[in-house]
Amino acid sequence: AQRVTQPEKLLSVFKGAPVELKCNYSYSGSPELFWYVQYSRQRLQLLLRHISRESIKGFTADLNKGETSFHLKKPFAQEEDSAMYYCALLWISSGSARQLTFGSGTQLTVLP
């Protein structure tokens, strides 16, 4: 069965330090992975998707099929990066519906 695992519920780093939010997935098909972010008092929104291979707000994420991982990285964290981050997997159900499954989320706090 498909599953998304984010092992860290809470992560704190100092401003300017590198940050890595871990995401591992389990899926027998061809995965499409996403990162969503929820800033305080704002809607959950898409941060980036692996097929775009782009950097958003300094964040990047590389899909590693061998390790079944899609870790989110930023070389120099900023205070405004403090938020809840969700990793998500797009998969195809037995009924051919494309479904999005989310991990349990990681609350990132960037300290001054």
Partner 1 sequence: EAQVTQNPRYLITVTGKKLTVTCSQNMNHEYMSWYRQDPGLGLRQIYYSMNVEVTDKGDVPEGYKVSRKEKRNFPLILESPSPNQTSLYFCASTQGTSGGPNTGELFFGEGSRLTVL
Which residues contact partner 1 (rule: CB under 8 A)?
6, 9, 32, 34, 36, 43-46, 49, 86, 88, 90, 92, 95-105
CA distance 106 to 37: 10
Secondary structure class of 65 (helix, strand, coil): coil
The gap between the terminal CA atoms of the chain, to the nearest Å, is 41
Which of 2, 3, 23 minimizes the C-alpha distance to 108?
A: 23
CA distance 9 to 30: 27
- Residue 13 CB, nearest approach to partner 1 (Å): 21
- Residue 69 CB, nearest approach to partner 1 (Å): 17
- Residue 43 CB, nearest approach to partner 1 (Å): 5
What are the b/e assignments for 76-99, b being 16+ CB within 10 Å?
ebeeebbbebbbbbbbeeeeeeee
